[in-house]
Structure 1
Amino acid sequence: MLNTTLSDSLEAGLPPAAPETHAESENPWSQYHVIRRNGTVVPFEPSKIAVAMTKAFLAVHGGQGAASARNREIVDTLTKQVIASLQRNRAGGGTFHIEDIQDQVELALMRSGEHDVARAYVLYREKRAQERAATRQARAPEHAPALNVSDNGVLRPLDREKLRATIAEAAAGHDAVDVDAILEETIKNLYDGVPVDEVFKSAILAARARVEIDPSYSRVTAGLLLHTIRKEVLGEEVAQSAMGQRYAEYFPQYIRLGVEGDLLDKNLALFDLETLAGALKAERDTQFNYLGLQTLYDRYFLHLKGRRIELPQIFFMRVAMGLALNEIDREARAIEFYEVLSSFDFMSSTPTLFNSGTLHSQLSSCYLTTVADDLASIYDAIKENALLAKYAGGLGNDWTPVRALRSHIRGTNGESQGVVPFLKVVNDTAVAVNQGGKRKGAVCAYLETWHLDIEEFLELRKNTGDERRRTHDMNTANWVPDLFMKRVMEEGEWTLFSPSDVPDLHDLYGREFEAAYLRYEEKTRTGEITLFKRIPAVSLWRKMLSMLFETGHPWITFKDPCNIRSPQQHVGVVHSSNLCTEITLNTSDTEIAVCNLGSVNLAAHMKPGPDGTYVLDHDKLERTITTAMRMLDNVIDINYYAVPKARNANLRHRPVGLGVMGFQDCLHLMRVPFASDTAVEFADRSMEAVCYYAYWASSRLAVERGHYSSFKGSLWDRGILPQDTLALLAEERGGHVEVDTSATLDWDSLRAHIRQHGMRNSNCVAIAPTATISNIIGVSPCIEPHYRNLYVKSNLSGEFTVVNEYLVRDLKALNLWDAVMVSDIKYFDGSLARIDRIPAHLRELYATAFEIDPKWVIECAARRSKWIDQSQSLNIFMTGVSGRKLDETYKLAWLRGLKTTYYLRAMGATNAEKSTGRGGELNAVSADAVSGMAAAHAPIALPAAETVGDVCTLRPGDDGFESCEACQ
């Protein structure tokens, strides 16, 4: 047992409060204070955490030799983690209760794998809590001290009944929520003279700490956050029940404020604001969970001089108005667009949400460029990256044309340094231009597999080697021709060239590429080409997979399917994908491809069928997609283009990328495991429907607005739809395509309509990651399986407990949802596989991403891919990675005709093992000591983050896990 503990040290070691001195005002922690258990408020001193943690390690491990040095390093690291976590929760200063600090210490110990120290700490902490409770019980009853709050410098008594009523309103409709428990925890964290705003912050923290008890608490927390947002925006506390009227009153004021403050396009003031105000639906504010609303508040709502001026429904209407600016009946269209956004049926991508209706309406998500092989063009490309990134664009750069290392430079009679030094500049530019100060710049460089610099390109993300030839902040991707995959399959040789010697390979694909490549290989044998390298194809393939596992990069994308299946092959070549590997558009020296994204919430388009099971609601889906495609098409004309080459390409071809999210939610509604043939079939049928209605919508827009200018000669014009191109791919490859080709909808009628009337958009469908917008509406990202059933998600807005609501519902129905179950699920890192008391069918239904064989993810993707005219962001999840498993998985992706893959998410097979013994033992300590769910508010204990190689951490929300929010 600990003799001197964290609990004692953290509290007893804090000095009494003292008047602030000049030196303290310069202390970055001077705005933070700690509430002790006796109610006194003292300055926050981070050094006390390190001291207390050191004592804990000494008590458990002693302090001798190398172990002591190692413990000091661990303490330093863990202290920084605790401080960072606390600071995220109070970014602008505030107070921490001593219990909150100790919760974060316990969480840090568990995440680091220091289970012995954590276990002893949990036991001792529980013992001390019992001792304090006994002491309080033995004392004579005391009256609770009066609490006053400071409101604009004026002290007044805390109105507990009003506070309780505010919490109760946020909890309305959620029977599982204990309003009094939230109230009690809120008041525990207050002190006499506390600013009134801190009262509501305390209520938010009290509610969110109970999310793991029941997911309903997430919506209650969102309700309390809404209360504080309303106070900030409207200048006074307003009940949700009064917001119908207040929205109508405030909306015209908001437009005036935004226009006068140089935030909003002045044309928004020309709308019939009274009509639009009347269309706002205040009740939709209650749809949010806490993560979604906090994300909107932190990063999307417009603000003037540090004060937010938007509320949720006004935010959605502003976006809708911005997209309806050029419509004839602007009010009707704005209301139509508002309806699909505010109902969460469809969500535009992040750049559109950021900028629609503002003075800088850069609404597009993705830009693809090709870099030409001369110095001026290279630096023009880097400049274009900066300009496009400024307003939240994600970038994909094709670097294949740039000559390789040691290539001859005629102008100077020197030798080229190759691609890599320029990529270092691209990397640093992405860091410097951080998307208008809202989030990190994001770029991905692509290189074809035959490029002589490919081996060094593969190592760009390594943490060892010459730092001048490393790019730790940008993404990289392989652009792999089919011929290379054939050579791998045949265990043949592969030849690397400089593009300055083989310039046409860049623009060739399929059989033409193969013929030219063979000619160039022959020239190496005759001596006509002297700069080359010949290696076994399998050797290079192994290195590609090895680097993918070690560093998370480069991603593997396939050149030939992207081009052979492209509707626009008659006017150009697809040279790369984008930042998130879902866009496949032509690029050249004169055209920068642009794509505009938005995603349908599939889960919102499910309905109970005749037998009670959920099915896809085709009528609603068609209505939503028809509206969504109009919104996306409008983006093209309204969009701000920082670079003329982007404007010209976008207006000429008019591509858009309609995607989906909530696929896993649909499977849960259907009671279907992800790893099943039924799930694969649903992936097929649901994507068939989405694409069918999207192509119909684009063709009908062409009737109204005219087809895009390069339509003639396209595959659309020739009556060849995306599913028809699988046969073209098989023909070009000479086989090696194994995909189900079944269909259920009337594609012949659509084909005839397109041939007669054309398409408004050259490309219509692309499945983006939806990393952020799926958080906003509270569904699973795009097409991915659930990461875990219970975990802590970290992002720029703080830390959020995420619980699988479907699982909780099922466990409640079986009377299995209790404190011990919460403890067990936490202990097993959100997995149910080893919790025997959960029925087997539920363990299968709620299997997490790393428990599902990656072949199921690929099979689902292959069925979707046949319908999609672009591609999909496809993460591969893998446990117990081996070279053989990687080889089989990525070869299967190629054989299934996939165009692209995205991140490899890898986790060691032994990750779930714990050093504390039987499952649930550690976290069940305090839970068993109290009744019911009272102790389940303790922080979720997670293991150390899993690692993809040496850089890519997989704790949800870390940059490595949600890197693609630049698109969505």
Structure 2
Amino acid sequence: MQTDPQTQASTSPTPMDPAQDGTLSTTAPGQIRVIKRNGKVVAYTDDKITVAITKAFLAVEGGTAAASSRIHEVVAELTSQVTDTFKRRLPSGGTIHIEEIQDQVELSLMRHGEHKVARSYVLYREEQARKRAQDNPAADNQSGITVTMEDGSRQALDMGRLEALIRAACADLDDVQPERIINETVKNLYDGVTIGDVNTSMVMTARTLIEQEPNYTYVTARLLMDSLRAEALQFLGVADRADQAEMASLYSDTLKAYVARGIELELLDPKLAEFDLDRLGQALKGDRDGLFTYLGLQTLYDRYFLHSNEVRFELPQCFFMRVAMGLSINEDDREARAIEFYELISSFDYMCSTPTLFNAGTLRPQLSSCYLTTVPDDLSGIYHAIHDNAMLSKFAGGLGNDWTPVRALGSYIKGTNGKSQGVVPFLKVVNDTAVAVNQGGKRKGAVCAYLETWHLDIEEFVELRKNTGDDRRRTHDMNTANWIPDLFMKRVLEEQEWTLFSPNDVPELHDLYGTAFEQKYLEYEAKTRSGELKLFKRMPALTLWRKMLSMLFETGHPWVTFKDPCNLRSPQQHAGVVHSSNLCTEITLNTNAEEIAVCNLGSINLPQHIGDNGLDLVKLENTVRTAVRMLDNVIDINYYSVPQAERSNFRHRPVGMGVMGFQDALYKQQIAYASAAAVDFADQSMEAISYYAIQASSNLAVERGSYSSFDGSLWSRGILPIDSIALLGEQRGEEYLKMDRSQRLDWDSLREQVKTQGMRNSNVMAIAPTATIANITGVSQSIEPTYQNLYVKSNLSGEFTVVNPYLVNDLKARGLWDNVMVNDLKYYDGSVQPIDRVPADLKEMYRTAFEVEPRWLVEAASRRQKWIDQAQSLNLYIAEANGRKLDITYKMAWLMGLKTTYYLRALSATTAEKSTINDGRLNAVAAVADSGASFDQAADVPLACSIDDPDCEACQ
């Protein structure tokens, strides 16, 4: 509806004004305050919001009785949403400008689908702003502002410094306007404002512009750096304040002061003081502080930087050098290696995993990411395994537990002449242990339990995450996964029966796979028919399969992982059996009573290796070589909280190098995710990474020696990951394996090199989720498609507007990027598909995760899997989910040779009109468990584990 501004001026809402007087209210600590246009500060109240929104509705809908009833309900809901937004954004209180409140009212109207009302509201605001500019064009209500400094003294606002900071933050960035930030920042200030709030005003002003221009995320981060520098430099006694240009000379002194203070506070390893800190300080590149997005820098500040009494004294380049020093501490030329490692991570070409970033260079360097354990079938062993879980979790390790050996419900206990309660009661204890031991207070403990599909407790196991039933037999916090043998999948496809056993009656099945498993399984089935085995259950395999998918759909668990490809393609099958994967399903390592498998992770930033002609193989080779060395160093430096982990890690030395930013790499090459070209790039890029990683580990073996269990491995026999596909096909049956086996590089020479030189590491590749380190480096997570092109991301650091810069640049090039497009993207939850004026080629390029058919995700994953000696964390996105789609997708995953899958992120066939309204987030993806929907029914909310649940640490 086009409303005449002249008419609207008399009938449209007056944008809310929180107070009528011009006095400064006395507000309680933690209360939100509002800065009016005249610079006065008043207490925040929501009654004026209610009035403003009501007037907006009345202007459009009139005041009929029918309209009034609806308006009353909607206004109350919208007012609550606006207030809740500011309470969430400012939990400890703070100041907001009147314009920010009006922006939020406008956004709430759009989210609620009230487009006519929102349009009326927008037009009125623009008209009033024009009038104010005409009436008083030279107004300057901010003259004479004084600023309260840290020591309580007051100084005049240093406009010169404020303008210089903002202009420096905007330098070298396209389409950003420093004057706009300067004017808005000053407008938000008031007499007596604290120096901290001056910086906050700059940051908040810049961050509100991110949705209109993605480059403002870098502006916001650079402005945030000013307060970070002040906090750290003052604590270290280096300087009171410094701008980014001054850090070029200050960073060297800062590093020395930082190391000394960190050692004094018993946070850093005293060995760091033995480095040539002058040499390392000169190597720091302060300009790389400008590489961060706002989300990336805020994440580092909140969760990674070292602190004392909540004062962060670690600046970004000191942080990266601390990690590099920690990883080079045992090197012969440690300074040269530290600089080499620093160059790699500070440039974002590669990033270490979160535990390594947390703990490298500290007194307790627990640098490893994942631990896999097998739980024995005796009470002492079970509780010892739970103790190991606690110790490993304490120092920030994610856990994967194999529970298959534990006897089932109703099985005989010889020692007591009683019957077992099965696996489930123990898993309840594991769940509560993970909650109690929250990774050293840094993030929630995270564990995943695995159970094989033939276990007699499997039906109850798959229901562990349900919200109904006996809560004593539910685990609401831990993850679960099915460990599925190939024989079961064959029985499903052939619609045959399946038999469940208690593991104490069939002890060999746990350690067998392939044809050996099938033969022994058939023998045990024969014993059930002859009467030799009494405790078993026979059922149609398809019935159990449907229940597994039903629970996956309803609760997000258990995940679907495949036992046989994990073992038949394992380089270490001579040394043991892979009994489970890890917390995120990308690690496939042997476990037994004496060994807890450990993996050490890091990820290549793929878009950093895309040049004008596609993949830059020379740069990629150099990155991989250094990264493999860093990962291998982790094994020797790592702190081991249990001896079984140390024993395993030193014997096999596995590492897991992965990738992140796959979607960004496609964008840079103008390749749509849902295309054969994307599948081909997944193949090409992973082949190159695999080649260089194997080559690097083999060369490292020349320098340092092969890992101790190398002899007898697939490596020693010249069987590389690409070759192991044939082993899987031979055992499974080629008719059940549809996997591409083409290759581009010279693998013959590499086979001979590995056989001759050996390997330093038993495993070298695994693709982890990279949720947090992708945030730090400002790229898309792991191998994920774009979630939405514009959304609000919520995590433990707060709420952040995320907009797809590649889409914005393409729309700009065609003259299509404007405020209307921003509002359209908001309304359509970040999708360009319903927006008519977006050209067809851009719609194809910028499909979001739920708009990409899952077959493309599976096919690309299959192409990667052929090169990887471990696995990959593969989330599956399924729109309009139903039983048939899930059935096809997961069968396809098995047939195409995948080892594991991760979360199912599914949208139901029908959703509420605007399902994101409930919690005010554009990106809300509700948990399946909350829906209560059955497998065959369409639910009223999106179904999935929330991709941005701030409490979820499974993929951080």
Relative to the length of structure 1, the TM-score reads 0.90
Residues 303 and 310 in structure 1, CA contact (< 8 A), matched pair in contact too: yes
Partner of 2:565: 561
1:528 paired to 2:532:
yes
- The one of 604, 610, 616 equivalent to 1:600 is 604
**1:46-65 matches, cutoff 5 A:** none
Partner of 1:926: none
Q: CA deviation at 1:620?
A: 1.0
Partner of 1:908: 908
Q: CA deviation at 1:56?
A: 9.3
- The one of 99, 123, 127 equivalent to 2:124 is 127
From the superposition, tell whether residues 771 and 84 of structure 1 become closer, same or farther in structure 2 (CA, over 3 Å): farther
Partner of 1:435: 439
Residues 407 and 416 in structure 1, CA contact (< 8 A), matched pair in contact too: yes
Partner of 2:511: 507
- Identity score, percent: 61
1:29-76 per-residue CA deviation (whole Å, 9 max, x = no partner) reads: 34x4332444332344689879998999999899999x9999989968
Q: CA deviation at 1:667?
A: 1.2
Q: CA deviation at 1:912?
A: 9.6
Secondary structure of 2:955's partner?
helix
- The one of 316, 322, 327 equivalent to 2:326 is 322
Secondary structure of 1:557's partner?
strand
Q: Which is worse superposed, 147-156 or 37-46?
A: 37-46
From the superposition, tell whether residues 467 and 82 of structure 1 become closer, same or farther in structure 2 (CA, over 3 Å): farther
1:964 paired to 2:954:
yes
Partner of 1:722: 721
Residues 6 and 102 in structure 1, CA contact (< 8 A), matched pair in contact too: no
1:311 paired to 2:301:
no
1:915-938 per-residue CA deviation (whole Å, 9 max, x = no partner) reads: 99xxxxx9xxxxxxxxxxxxxxxx
1:148 partner letter: T
The whole-number CA distance in structure 2 between the counterparts of 1:750 and 1:895 is 29
2:414 partner letter: R
Secondary structure of 2:245's partner?
helix
**1:354-373 matches, cutoff 5 A:** 354-373=358-377
Partner of 1:928: none
Partner of 1:144: 141
The whole-number CA distance in structure 2 between the counterparts of 1:51 and 1:577 is 56
The whole-number CA distance in structure 1 between the counterparts of 2:64 and 2:488 is 57
From the superposition, tell whether residues 142 and 855 of structure 1 become closer, same or farther in structure 2 (CA, over 3 Å): closer
From the superposition, tell whether residues 946 and 4 of structure 1 become closer, same or farther in structure 2 (CA, over 3 Å): farther
From the superposition, tell whether residues 322 and 6 of structure 1 become closer, same or farther in structure 2 (CA, over 3 Å): farther
The whole-number CA distance in structure 2 between the counterparts of 1:52 and 1:445 is 53
Partner of 2:937: none
2:535 partner letter: L
Residues 659 and 766 in structure 1, CA contact (< 8 A), matched pair in contact too: yes
**1:801-820 matches, cutoff 5 A:** 801-820=801-820
Q: Which is worse superposed, 494-503 or 586-595?
A: 494-503
Residues 555 and 927 in structure 2, CA contact (< 8 A), matched pair in contact too: no
Partner of 1:584: 588
1:2-49 per-residue CA deviation (whole Å, 9 max, x = no partner) reads: 9999987772499976556xxx56xxx34x433244433234468987
Partner of 1:214: 213
From the superposition, tell whether residues 575 and 104 of structure 1 become closer, same or farther in structure 2 (CA, over 3 Å): farther
Partner of 2:922: 942
The whole-number CA distance in structure 1 between the counterparts of 2:321 and 2:277 is 11
**1:645-664 matches, cutoff 5 A:** 645-664=644-663
Residues 88 and 797 in structure 1, CA contact (< 8 A), matched pair in contact too: no
From the superposition, tell whether residues 54 and 762 of structure 1 become closer, same or farther in structure 2 (CA, over 3 Å): farther
The whole-number CA distance in structure 2 between the counterparts of 1:810 and 1:790 is 15
Secondary structure of 1:213's partner?
coil
1:685 paired to 2:684:
yes
1:340 paired to 2:337:
no
Partner of 1:929: none
2:625 partner letter: T
Residues 219 and 286 in structure 1, CA contact (< 8 A), matched pair in contact too: yes
**1:68-107 matches, cutoff 5 A:** 85-104=85-104, 107=107
Residues 738 and 895 in structure 2, CA contact (< 8 A), matched pair in contact too: yes
Q: CA deviation at 1:775?
A: 1.0
From the superposition, tell whether residues 53 and 355 of structure 1 become closer, same or farther in structure 2 (CA, over 3 Å): farther
Give 5+ residue unaligned stretches, structure 1.
610-614, 917-921, 923-938
Secondary structure of 1:772's partner?
helix
From the superposition, tell whether residues 521 and 79 of structure 1 become closer, same or farther in structure 2 (CA, over 3 Å): farther
1:154 paired to 2:145:
no
Higher relative contact order (CA 8 A, sep 6+): 1
The whole-number CA distance in structure 2 between the counterparts of 1:660 and 1:730 is 27
**1:673-712 matches, cutoff 5 A:** 673-712=672-711
2:461 partner letter: F
The whole-number CA distance in structure 2 between the counterparts of 1:4 and 1:380 is 73
2:655 partner letter: V
Q: CA RMSD for the aligned pairs?
A: 3.1
Residues 368 and 592 in structure 1, CA contact (< 8 A), matched pair in contact too: yes
The whole-number CA distance in structure 2 between the counterparts of 1:87 and 1:322 is 40
1:363-416 per-residue CA deviation (whole Å, 9 max, x = no partner) reads: 000001111111211111111111111121111111111111122222222222
Partner of 2:821: 821
1:812 partner letter: K
Partner of 1:795: 795
The whole-number CA distance in structure 1 between the counterparts of 2:381 and 2:49 is 53
Q: CA deviation at 1:350?
A: 0.4
The whole-number CA distance in structure 1 between the counterparts of 2:479 and 2:81 is 26
Q: Which is worse superposed, 476-485 or 529-538?
A: 529-538
Q: CA deviation at 1:305?
A: 2.3
Q: CA deviation at 1:123?
A: 3.2
Residues 374 and 591 in structure 2, CA contact (< 8 A), matched pair in contact too: yes
Residues 908 and 946 in structure 1, CA contact (< 8 A), matched pair in contact too: no
Partner of 1:761: 761
Relative to the length of structure 2, the TM-score reads 0.91
The whole-number CA distance in structure 2 between the counterparts of 1:140 and 1:313 is 45
The whole-number CA distance in structure 2 between the counterparts of 1:505 and 1:466 is 30
Residues 6 and 121 in structure 1, CA contact (< 8 A), matched pair in contact too: no
Partner of 1:547: 551
Partner of 1:669: 668
Residues 907 and 948 in structure 1, CA contact (< 8 A), matched pair in contact too: no
1:730-765 per-residue CA deviation (whole Å, 9 max, x = no partner) reads: 111122111111111111111111111211101000
Residues 107 and 941 in structure 1, CA contact (< 8 A), matched pair in contact too: no
**1:258-407 matches, cutoff 5 A:** 258-407=262-411
Secondary structure of 1:885's partner?
helix
The whole-number CA distance in structure 2 between the counterparts of 1:52 and 1:390 is 51
From the superposition, tell whether residues 513 and 243 of structure 1 become closer, same or farther in structure 2 (CA, over 3 Å): same
From the superposition, tell whether residues 877 and 678 of structure 1 become closer, same or farther in structure 2 (CA, over 3 Å): same
The whole-number CA distance in structure 1 between the counterparts of 2:675 and 2:842 is 14
1:869 paired to 2:872:
no
1:950 partner letter: D
1:114-143 per-residue CA deviation (whole Å, 9 max, x = no partner) reads: 434x75366346536645764675579755
1:715 partner letter: L
From the superposition, tell whether residues 483 and 260 of structure 1 become closer, same or farther in structure 2 (CA, over 3 Å): same
The whole-number CA distance in structure 2 between the counterparts of 1:505 and 1:276 is 55
Q: CA deviation at 1:107?
A: 4.4
Partner of 2:237: none
Partner of 1:919: none
Residues 907 and 947 in structure 1, CA contact (< 8 A), matched pair in contact too: no
The whole-number CA distance in structure 2 between the counterparts of 1:899 and 1:501 is 28
Residues 556 and 944 in structure 2, CA contact (< 8 A), matched pair in contact too: no
1:938-961 per-residue CA deviation (whole Å, 9 max, x = no partner) reads: x9983754554537656652248x
The whole-number CA distance in structure 1 between the counterparts of 2:925 and 2:278 is 51
From the superposition, tell whether residues 303 and 122 of structure 1 become closer, same or farther in structure 2 (CA, over 3 Å): farther
Partner of 1:448: 452
The whole-number CA distance in structure 1 between the counterparts of 2:702 and 2:137 is 83
Partner of 2:163: 164
Give 5+ residue unaligned stretches, structure 2.
1-7, 235-239, 932-942
- The one of 249, 252, 257 equivalent to 1:253 is 257
From the superposition, tell whether residues 293 and 156 of structure 1 become closer, same or farther in structure 2 (CA, over 3 Å): same
